[in-house]
Structure 1
Amino acid sequence: MVYEVPAPKYVRLAQTIQARIEDGTYPPGTLVPSENQLVQSFGMSRPTVVRALDLLKRDGWLESRQGYGTIVRGRPETVARKDRRGRDALERDESRASGRLVQVGYVPAPPRVAALLGVPRRTKVLVRRLLVEEDGEAVELASSYFPAKVAEGTALEGSEPLTGAVREHVEARVKARFDHVTERISARLPNQDDAELLGLPADTPVLSVLVVACDVSGRALQVVDVLLPADRQELEDTYRLN
């Protein structure tokens, strides 16, 4: 049985404001109602309102201008079009990927993964490791971790490459949709196994893009650790200044 958990209040408020931006109630270039007005209109606390506005600013729907207020920017199309490693990892069709599965099975959850999935340390979780190659050279190692209650009895446990996006298999299992993704980028030295798979000397660093995919309640349904050879990567971002 799958239990639906209501989204946090600030998320629901942000979704309501976003819907009003999309339907034209709050047109681009106009001011959104003040914090006091939102508190009174929705009967929510000021901290909840502040968190909702911060979420919309982070995602590019709103913009703060000193001495003027919070302005509606509209749908952040440029943000939506940007390539994201997390989205790529979740929507990848393994059967069409230029690479191979190097591991499928249950393993003790690494401490960081266990914390993100909300399970006790050393709890067995399913891992699918995909080595992506281009022109015969390893360019990415993606390790996807799933709680056992999500993976058991599904195609995720199979040793053959999945057909269709990985997220489709997860959403079909839990009867819920992925709502948001958090990416955390860090640099580290690879362990021996990672270095061998990526064809790297042990002293060559890798970039780790830790992708946490959650439903609307904030529950993590999948964690992906994407390793990229640091000497073959260049990160670039373009953003507006307030």
Structure 2
Amino acid sequence: MAYEVEAPKYVRLAQTLQRRIEDGTYPPGSRVPSENQLVQSFGMSRPTVVRALELLKRDGWLESRQGYGTIVRGRPAVSEQRDRRGREALERDESSDSGRLVEVGQVPVPARIASALGLPKRAKALVRRFLVEADGEAVELVSSYFPAGLVEGSELGSPDALSGSPREHLEARKKIRFDHVTERVSARLPAGDEAELLDLPEGVPVLSVLVIACDASGQALQVSDVLLPADRQELEDTYRLN
């Protein structure tokens, strides 16, 4: 059994501040409220506030300026040249990519998926689950969740593979635009059906890449949980130090 837990408080606070940056409450160049003000406004401890601010600084949303405090930089520019699991999940063509659609239907949304979609606990959403295969071996399991409002008037609920990606389908049918993606990586033990689909021995964990795709306002349009067998993965990143 896989246990879903709510995101830590500092992550939820960082998400709230991020949404306020995107909706213009905290425009680029402005100062965010002080640590004391955030503690009082959100009823969270100072360490939680500090950790949330550090997370946003690390990801490029905020920066510290001596004598000015913490300044809003705005939404970070996306590097188009780096490979991203999120981009792969959003742009996968179900009808031509190597693999198969293993599930389509309304399901209770796991807690962290509901949080990312802005849905209440125990809400239901449409899931499209695609098993990616290479040389006859299961290499990746992608479960993509969509809020009910986007499903209406689309073919997302069809049990057949879509021609093109769900993103292309939604942008064409619903006249919406995907703007940016946030990815979160964690590790966990797979649920029984996940382990069976990925052909994992008992006790082997998976890496979960949670892909949150939003419009320009920060509203989540699609959340995909990309599961990778941990014993077959090695993550590496090279970057320049300032």
Counterpart contact for 2:131–2:140, Cα < 8 Å: yes
Partner of 2:31: 46
Shift of 1:160: 1.0
After superposition, give the CA deviation of every residue in 1:5-47 in whole Å (9 maximum; x if it has no partner): x951278x55xxxxxxxxxxxxxxxxxxxxxxx5xxxxxx422
Paired positions, count? 196
Instruction: Identify the structure with the greater helix proportion.
Output: 1
Shift of 1:141: 0.2
Whole-angstrom CA distance in 2 between matches of 1:109 and 1:136: 30
The alignment yields a C-alpha RMSD, in angstroms, of 3.2
Displaced runs of 4+ in structure 1, greater than 6 A? 54-57, 62-66
Partner of 1:139: 139
**3-state secondary structure, aligned to 2:95:** helix
Counterpart contact for 2:212–2:224, Cα < 8 Å: yes
Whole-angstrom CA distance in 2 between matches of 1:214 and 1:122: 22
- Calculate the TM-score normalised by the size of structure 1: 0.71
After superposition, give the CA deviation of every residue in 1:171-216 in whole Å (9 maximum; x if it has no partner): 2344221111111101111111000000001210110001111111
1:116-131 equivalences in 2 (<5 Å): 116-131=116-131
Change (3 A) 1:197 1:116: same
State the one-letter code of the partner of 1:215.
D
Partner of 2:194: 194
Counterpart contact for 1:141–1:228, Cα < 8 Å: yes
Change (3 A) 1:55 1:138: same
Change (3 A) 1:111 1:160: same
1:63-212 equivalences in 2 (<5 Å): 79-212=79-212
Partner of 1:241: 241
Please identify the structure whose Cα radius of gyration is greater: 1
Shift of 1:239: 1.0
**3-state secondary structure, aligned to 1:113:** helix
Change (3 A) 1:195 1:222: same
Shift of 1:152: 2.2
> Structure 2: which 5+ runs fail to align?
1-20, 34-54, 67-75
Partner of 2:225: 225
Percent identity at matched positions? 64
Shift of 1:236: 0.9
| Worse overlay, 113-122 or 129-138 | 113-122
Change (3 A) 1:204 1:120: same
Shift of 1:76: 7.2
